[in-house]
Amino acid sequence: MSKPTCTPLPNGNVKITGSGTMTASEASLLIVEIAKAAIQAHRRSRQPLPDRTMAASPVPYIETDAMGLITERPRADYVLLSLHFGAMEVGIAIAKSDGKQLGQALIAACSGGTIPH
């Protein structure tokens, strides 16, 4: 297998090279590397975030098989939202200062209430 690599480009795109078979753990690492490269590419492009309000499908999504919350990592002021897709797991670091707002928004969305911003 040619180990896939992700390169952020100045126009905001990400170049992915390599192919082959990988384990679920390797796929998790690749997803994280793609996201990191996309963040770097976006910052380099100095373009505004995309406006998805008029798109037919505002945000691409996938349903999780399981999720959890890890409070010990990556830092004391963050929590880690652990998302499982089959045997693949990806963590999303969320600053604790944003966690309360996210929690309130989730509760409101699940109870049919108004989602706070």
Task: Give the end-to-end CA distance of the chain in Å, rounded to a whole number.
Answer: 45
69, containing H or E segment:
strand 66-70
Per-residue confidence at 70, pLDDT binned at 50, 70, 90?
confident
pLDDT digits (tens, 9 = 90+) for 72-109: 777 888 999 999 999 999 999 999 989 888 988 888 88
21-37 pLDDT, tens digit each: 888 988 899 999 999 99
* Res. 116: pLDDT tops 60: no
Is residue 61 over pLDDT 80? yes
Q: What's the pLDDT score for residue 1? A: 46
Q: What are phi and psi of 7, to 5 degrees?
A: -125, 120
Taking every pair of Cα atoms in the chain, the longest distance, rounded to a whole number of angstroms, is 49
State the pLDDT at residue 106.
Answer: 87
Domain range annotation of the chain? 1-48, 62-117
Whole-number pLDDT of residue 73? 72
Preceding omega of 74 cis (within 30 degrees of 0)? yes
- CA Rg, the chain, in Å? 17
d(CA 88, CA 25) in angstroms, rounded, equals 6
Q: Distance (Å, rounded) from C-alpha 27 to C-alpha 33?
A: 10
